[in-house]
Amino acid sequence: MFKSSIAIASASAVLALAFLNPAHAAPDEDAAKALMKANDCTKCHAVDKTKKGPALKKIAEKYKDKADAQAKLVTNFTTGPMVKLADGTEEKHKIIDTKDQKELNNLADWILAQ
């Protein structure tokens, strides 16, 4: 009976802890959209249509199920790599004007959720 009580108590504790700390919180859509607007990202990107750059849904599909997706997007936002545009030309990607890692991660997570 003692072993049974310990097992039940242990299982209850594990379940309680699982609900206290969700694995991944949903991205803050309003904050992500505000950061995009402040940095003129919407000049080249839209959620579901190709503009000068790819649609956010297309970007999300490209990185779907890749463990390093968030890091790759943040690197793209912060280093200004050369990118191919819809018309086939290339230019440097604009660097997001924030050093706040939480904001950058949130934007990446929101794009990946599209």
What 3-state class would DSSP assign to 30? helix
Residue 1: what pLDDT? 55
Residue in this structure with the two tokens 């997570």, named with its chain if needed: 109
CATH number of 27-112: 1.10.760.10
pLDDT by residue, tens only, the chain of 114 residues: 545 555 454 444 443 434 444 456 899 999 999 999 999 999 999 999 999 999 999 999 999 999 999 999 999 999 999 999 999 999 999 999 999 999 999 999 999 999
Give the rounded distance of the alpha carbon of 107 from its chain centre: 5
Residues 84 and 90: beta-carbon distance below 8 Å: yes
Q: 83 phi and psi, to 5 degrees?
A: -130, 150
Residue 24: what pLDDT? 62
Interacting residues of 9 by C-beta distance below 8 A, sequence separation 6+: none
Q: 109 phi and psi, to 5 degrees?
A: -65, -40
Q: Where are the domains of the chain?
A: 27-112
Residue 4: what pLDDT? 52
Rounded Cα distance between 40 and 5, Å, is: 59
